[in-house]
Structure 1
Amino acid sequence: MYKQLVAIILASFFILITLAGCQEPPQEKSANTTTGQNDLKPSLKKAVKLVKKRIAARTWSEIIASGHINAVKLDWQLESALPRAGSTGAYHSTLLQGFAQSRGLTVTWHRVSNLAAMFEKLSAFEVDIIPRHLTITENRLAKYSFTYPLLRDKEVVIAKSGKHDFNASAINNLHLPIGSAYIESVVSQYPHWNVNVVKEQVSSQEMADHVAQGLSKYTIIDGFALETLKQYRDDIQSVFTLPKAINLAWAVNLNNDSFLHELNEFISVHHVMQMIEPERTVGFKQLRKDKLPLRVITRNSPETYFLWRGELLGFEYDLMRKFADIHKVKLVIVVADSYEEMLELLAEGKGDIIAAGLSRTKARTKKITKAKLATSIRYNRVKEQLVAHQDGELINELSDLKDRTITIRKSSSFWPTAQKLAKDFGANIVIANEDIATEILIAQVADKEIDLTIADSNLIAIEKTFRSQIITPLTFKENVPYAYLVRQNNPQLLAYLNEFIRKYYRGTFYNVVKNKYFYNERLQKSHKKHRLTSGSILSPYDDIVRSQVQPYHFDWRLIVSQMYQESRFDPLASNATGALGLMQMLPRTAEELGVKDLKDPEQAIASGVQYLDWTRNRFSKDLPVQEQIFFSLASYNAGYGHVKDAQRLARQLGLRSDRWFNHVEKAMLLLQRRQYYNKARFGYVRGREPVNYVRDIHQRYLSYIRITD
């Protein structure tokens, strides 16, 4: 009987998943609405103001009067990659936002699935601009106006890394996405090449994936895009450069001269600023006068700076963003892999401040002074603590460490403490690999893979919200100071930093940020445990969920299971990152989906269902139907980009990239390690969280099926 029940549950599950993957894609939405609004219930549609279709482009005066610029971007740009030099998605979004802010405007983003749809929206006057690296071609010039070129580039043929006998006189197996300017370049320069047109418009990243996987032998991308890809991957290479240079610019409608003039004026200033040498050591007052960005050197970690669901977060990042806002300067983050690299970047003038949770020790101060660097006053205090498993042998005093094993990196600031414990109390010290971050060592203690480690109290506070098994039986040092680092020849910046610390340290803003990252356990109310029986109502929102999932063909019980995981059915739930409501959506993402009030259960559920559908559609073309929901849930939790990184890593490790359990989930866990996330487009991710998220929702969903069937 038990085997029959399990078979019925699994059969039901896969039938439902099959239905989930077979729906028609949503139709294009009406003008002046963002994708997803027409799928909302009638009560929500009333809040959406539809206007008559325009017959001409909005002039600059009309744009100013409206207070916003209508811009379009691709679905895959819903989340930006961790900013890197040349990251095109972040580059255009940031640049247009900068233009809008300089004119007292905001940007309203419209989303489409491909490049052709971008031009359709522009032609229909539904948007004012396409802010994207667009190649200026003769065909496009006949229909649209372009800004001053943002970049002059050359197109390159790329192939899988390795030996290639590329022959420009006879090339086959060249794949190019439909509608791309690359096709026009080939037709005009190499008409004898055999081009295979990919029927879907995909990104340079995805075309590079096709080449790396052997699905295509060659493709063409911009040289700018190639340099970006090469920063974190080594499975592709350039084999040929097309000789004709191309100009890349933004597109607006023909004859919209007033808007074009404003854009060109801004771009001209932007180009002048870009000519500044990247290595500079000017004082802070000169930096502000020349409107140069403040470059903050940090590391990619849960304590300092990371990407979550498309939002840039981190304790150090939030503090530096506040400092930059106060002084009205742009903030640029420079990510380093090690403490030594941070010092080198600062000394060489490739950054202005190090803000990376660095403790100010005697040994470090001596080295810092020798390198002609200076430290700020203390902006944070932490404790240096031992991390142990709650089920391990009791540790009440230092003598209890005899014959216990402490795993620590030699480059860690805790290394001297570990050495003293070995010498004075008989502890065994194991040197951890340098690519294993302290948060990973804490996870290994929680999983009983290692005995003990040492960490600072801030990081331990973060990890305790995820790992209830860890304890801190001993504190070795109290009041360990954290400080910023600057060059000695930049006393102005040091003075402003110290002023910032004196004003905000332990104040309201500082405490809110510190609580956000180190002490907030999602602030969820404790909930009573109800035993569900056959025929039970799963949640107070079952009827709303049933109505919202119909256009998307999700099983309503899956969404209820996810809702419980996100908010425990609390419509006012919020977390430290700013996510709100039953489905814990970020307000910025919800607005792009046409949802305004995340405290309203109906709108909150609508936004969650739409976003899950968006992630599923992004995976639909390259995954078995039964796997789509697992990847979609992982993307909902950690972000689509992180899951794509894990897929690529899985292929490199010989695992299947189209299977979640025991394959891509293993790669996701590895993206917590420096040696892997350094080569990932989206950087560090707390991989254990999406892994547990998918498993928990899946198991609860199967239970819901058993209860309700």
Structure 2
Amino acid sequence: MLNAANRHFRHRAGVYLALIAIGLLLMVPTFSPPPEGEHLKQIKARDFITIHTRNTPTTYYEGRHGPTGFEYELMRRFAQYLGVSLNLDASHHIDTVLPAVRQKGDLGAAALPLETSQEGIHFSQAIIPLQPLLVYRRGLNGIDAPDDMPGLDIGTLGGTGTSRVLKQMQGQYPALSWKESSELEVAELLAQVEAGVLDAAVIFDHQFRLNRLFFPNVERGFTLGEPLSMAWAVPSGRGLGLLDAVNDFIQELRESGVLDQLVERYFGHDDYLEYVGTRTFLSHLDSRLPQFDAMFREAARNTDFDWKLLAALGYQESHWNPEATSPTGVRGLMMLTNPTAKEMGVSDRLDPAQSIDGGARYLRSIKERLPESITGEDRLFMAMAAYNVGLGHLYDARRLVEQQGGDPDSWADVRETLPLLQHREWHSQTRHGYARGGEPVIFVRNIRRYYEMLNYVERSRQQFFQLEQSALVPTDSLPLFDIVPPID
């Protein structure tokens, strides 16, 4: 009897406990995961996607003819892929991108290293490899392998993944040490190596290829460890629709070959501004220029420039190759973009006559738009600089010159300031942001050299012609002009 009563009590108690448990479950709010495509639906409903990025040469910057950069090209194409507008926030350092993605969305694209665990973040599939590279100041001897790194004053950028590689190396080289900053960018780091503030730096290989021309005293060293991977970041907890769309987009670019084409366009060429040697120039002077001599002279008459200056500009742009195509898609002897060609009425950029005429008129239009306070050679040199980097960045440099107490109408002062646009400390104060400010300085310098060589050759040929007419020098003994006077 007692056992039956106990069984009855336990049964009723079990029922009560089950009911209580069910009641407690009903009192606790439940959170179901968001629909897979909810975030993506929101983006499409508002008709724009916000992408957090950085103002750098490998991500996004305002170029000669508008926004450019490897990741900007991907971002622009991804917005088109989704059928929405692109809203960029390029105000970030490397360490502020992921917090912005977590708090605001929608996506982070800023040369981010793929990480397996990052709270609140999903990473896309790999976009391109990021190969860490040690670079060092020219003149330091015996830096040939990782064994030589301990004892060097090394800098790197925090948050980019390079410090991860260095930490792995510390297991083998305990004496290895370095400095890192998440507020600097690559150009500023290389500038510290060039100036002797640092002995060396660890950056990525493609970053060095884009910047090496501006830092001639920085040497390529050796690669470190296995490549990392560049990826995009989306917020977790808001469904996987956007992440799936990003991965599908990247996969389509890879399979179609477009991704490889973009890598080649932005990172495959890094020496088009180099100053070629005298013999090469003079060889082209004989083999190429005669085809276009009359065209340069005609364009010069129409625009009031010295024909030799236009020829020097053409040589800098294409080495007098009428079918030249740059990594960024500008084409022809004077390397005109499509918008510039349309503005100048050029229907065929590969037609040398049209290209020379359009380039000359474009240079003239830039020169005429400059402030009247800029005069003489300063006006010409600034027009050539703007031909390369754009008027907006030239005006930014002039404002910085003025802030520093210099003369914004002096090319000498502007020339010193333009490279500052590569440094975040300075370009963050400007209207148009980052620019490869060293390029227009090299661009103008090279054109002046080619112009001087053309003048020298023309004067020499006139002298030889006079001598030939006087029968003082046989025509078959005229020397090749191997010696060119130095230019300051």
Q: In which range does the TM-score fall when normalised by the shorter chain?
A: 0.7 to 0.9
| Deviation by residue 1:412-444 (Cα, 9 ceiling, x = unmatched) | 532344466678353453456x54311332355
User: Which runs of 5 or more structure 2 residues have no equivalent in the other structure?
Assistant: 1-36, 460-488
| Deviation by residue 1:299-332 (Cα, 9 ceiling, x = unmatched) | 1111111121123211111122222222222222
Which of these residues, 105, 108, 130, is aligned with residue 354 of structure 1? 108
Does residue 549 (structure 1) correspond to residue 324 (structure 2)? The answer is: no
CA-atom RMSD in angstroms: 3.0
Which of these residues, 516, 519, 522, is aligned with residue 268 of structure 2? 519
Distance 2:133 2:395 in 1: 36
Which of these residues, 58, 61, 68, is aligned with residue 313 of structure 1? 68
Does residue 330 (structure 1) correspond to residue 81 (structure 2)? The answer is: no
Q: Which residue pairs with 1:85 in the alignment?
A: none
8 Å CA contact retained: 1:524, 1:573: no
Question: What SS does structure 1 have at the residue aligned with 2:331?
Answer: coil
Q: How does 1:493-504 map to 2 (within 5 A)?
A: 493-504=242-253
Distance 1:639 1:532 in 2: 30
Question: What SS does structure 2 have at the residue aligned with 1:637?
Answer: helix
Does residue 649 (structure 1) correspond to residue 405 (structure 2)? The answer is: no
Q: Which residue pairs with 2:458 in the alignment?
A: 708
Q: Which residue pairs with 1:612 in the alignment?
A: 363
Distance 1:404 1:345 in 2: 35
8 Å CA contact retained: 2:273, 2:443: no
Distance 1:500 1:377 in 2: 10
Does residue 383 (structure 1) correspond to residue 131 (structure 2)? The answer is: yes
Q: Which residue pairs with 1:591 in the alignment?
A: 342
Q: Which residue pairs with 1:677 in the alignment?
A: 427
Counterpart AA for 1:463: N
Does residue 283 (structure 1) correspond to residue 39 (structure 2)? The answer is: yes
Deviation at 1:337, TM superposition (A): 2.2
Question: What SS does structure 2 have at the residue aligned with 1:344?
Answer: helix
Higher Cα radius of gyration? 2
8 Å CA contact retained: 1:538, 1:560: no
Counterpart AA for 1:356: A
Counterpart AA for 2:358: S
Q: How does 1:405-416 map to 2 (within 5 A)?
A: 405-416=153-164
In 2 relative to 1, CA 543–446 (structure 1 residues): closer, same or farther, beyond 3 Å?
A: farther
Counterpart AA for 1:309: R
Percent of aligned pairs with the same residue? 27
Q: Which residue pairs with 2:96 in the alignment?
A: 341
Question: What SS does structure 2 have at the residue aligned with 1:622?
Answer: coil
Distance 2:132 2:240 in 1: 30
Distance 2:374 2:277 in 1: 37
Counterpart AA for 1:317: Y
Counterpart AA for 1:335: A
| Deviation by residue 1:160-195 (Cα, 9 ceiling, x = unmatched) | xxxxxxxxxxxxxxxxxxxxxxxxxxxxxxxxxxxx
Question: What SS does structure 1 have at the residue aligned with 2:224?
Answer: strand
Q: Which residue pairs with 1:294 in the alignment?
A: 49
Distance 2:319 2:380 in 1: 21
Counterpart AA for 2:297: R
**Bigger fraction of residues in helix:** 2
Does residue 510 (structure 1) correspond to residue 264 (structure 2)? The answer is: no
Counterpart AA for 1:623: I
TM-score, normalisation: structure 1: 0.55
Deviation at 1:567, TM superposition (A): 0.7
| Deviation by residue 1:653-704 (Cα, 9 ceiling, x = unmatched) | 111101011x111211111111111121111011111111112212332332
Counterpart AA for 1:514: V
8 Å CA contact retained: 1:406, 1:418: no
Does residue 454 (structure 1) correspond to residue 454 (structure 2)? The answer is: no
Distance 1:336 1:559 in 2: 39
In 2 relative to 1, CA 696–332 (structure 1 residues): closer, same or farther, beyond 3 Å?
A: same
Deviation at 1:562, TM superposition (A): 1.1
User: Which runs of 5 or more structure 1 residues have no equivalent in the other structure?
Assistant: 1-280
Question: What SS does structure 2 have at the residue aligned with 1:474?
Answer: strand
In 2 relative to 1, CA 657–446 (structure 1 residues): closer, same or farther, beyond 3 Å?
A: same
In 2 relative to 1, CA 443–517 (structure 1 residues): closer, same or farther, beyond 3 Å?
A: farther
8 Å CA contact retained: 2:322, 2:333: yes
Deviation at 1:611, TM superposition (A): 1.0
Distance 1:562 1:612 in 2: 10
Distance 1:538 1:447 in 2: 40
Question: What SS does structure 2 have at the residue aligned with 1:505?
Answer: helix
Question: What SS does structure 2 have at the residue aligned with 1:473?
Answer: strand
8 Å CA contact retained: 1:406, 1:427: no
Which of these residues, 346, 351, 354, is aligned with residue 603 of structure 1? 354
Which of these residues, 418, 427, 446, is aligned with residue 668 of structure 1? 418
Distance 2:253 2:457 in 1: 53
Question: What SS does structure 2 have at the residue aligned with 1:355?
Answer: strand
8 Å CA contact retained: 1:405, 1:427: no
Deviation at 1:555, TM superposition (A): 1.0
Distance 1:454 1:646 in 2: 29
Deviation at 1:480, TM superposition (A): 0.7
Distance 2:359 2:154 in 1: 44
8 Å CA contact retained: 1:399, 1:425: no
Distance 2:222 2:387 in 1: 38
Deviation at 1:514, TM superposition (A): 0.9
Counterpart AA for 1:561: A
Q: Which residue pairs with 2:226 in the alignment?
A: 478
Counterpart AA for 2:444: V
| Deviation by residue 1:68-92 (Cα, 9 ceiling, x = unmatched) | xxxxxxxxxxxxxxxxxxxxxxxxx
Distance 1:652 1:682 in 2: 16
Distance 1:632 1:531 in 2: 24
Distance 2:206 2:257 in 1: 18
Question: What SS does structure 2 have at the residue aligned with 1:323?
Answer: helix
Question: What SS does structure 2 have at the residue aligned with 1:332?
Answer: strand
Which of these residues, 178, 189, 192, is aligned with residue 429 of structure 1? 178
Counterpart AA for 2:81: I
8 Å CA contact retained: 2:108, 2:233: yes
Deviation at 1:344, TM superposition (A): 3.1
| Deviation by residue 1:242-297 (Cα, 9 ceiling, x = unmatched) | xxxxxxxxxxxxxxxxxxxxxxxxxxxxxxxxxxxxxxx96112432x25111211
8 Å CA contact retained: 2:61, 2:434: yes
Distance 1:672 1:309 in 2: 14
Q: Which residue pairs with 2:27 in the alignment?
A: none
Q: Which residue pairs with 2:387 in the alignment?
A: 636
8 Å CA contact retained: 2:209, 2:270: no
Does residue 487 (structure 1) correspond to residue 229 (structure 2)? The answer is: no
Counterpart AA for 2:417: A
Q: Which residue pairs with 1:559 in the alignment?
A: 310
Distance 2:205 2:223 in 1: 9
Does residue 697 (structure 1) correspond to residue 447 (structure 2)? The answer is: yes
In 2 relative to 1, CA 700–520 (structure 1 residues): closer, same or farther, beyond 3 Å?
A: closer
Aligned length: 418
Q: Which residue pairs with 1:124 in the alignment?
A: none
Q: Which residue pairs with 1:396 in the alignment?
A: 144
Q: Which residue pairs with 2:12 in the alignment?
A: none
Question: What SS does structure 2 have at the residue aligned with 1:706?
Answer: helix
8 Å CA contact retained: 2:385, 2:444: yes
In 2 relative to 1, CA 468–510 (structure 1 residues): closer, same or farther, beyond 3 Å?
A: farther
TM-score, normalisation: structure 2: 0.78
8 Å CA contact retained: 2:273, 2:316: no
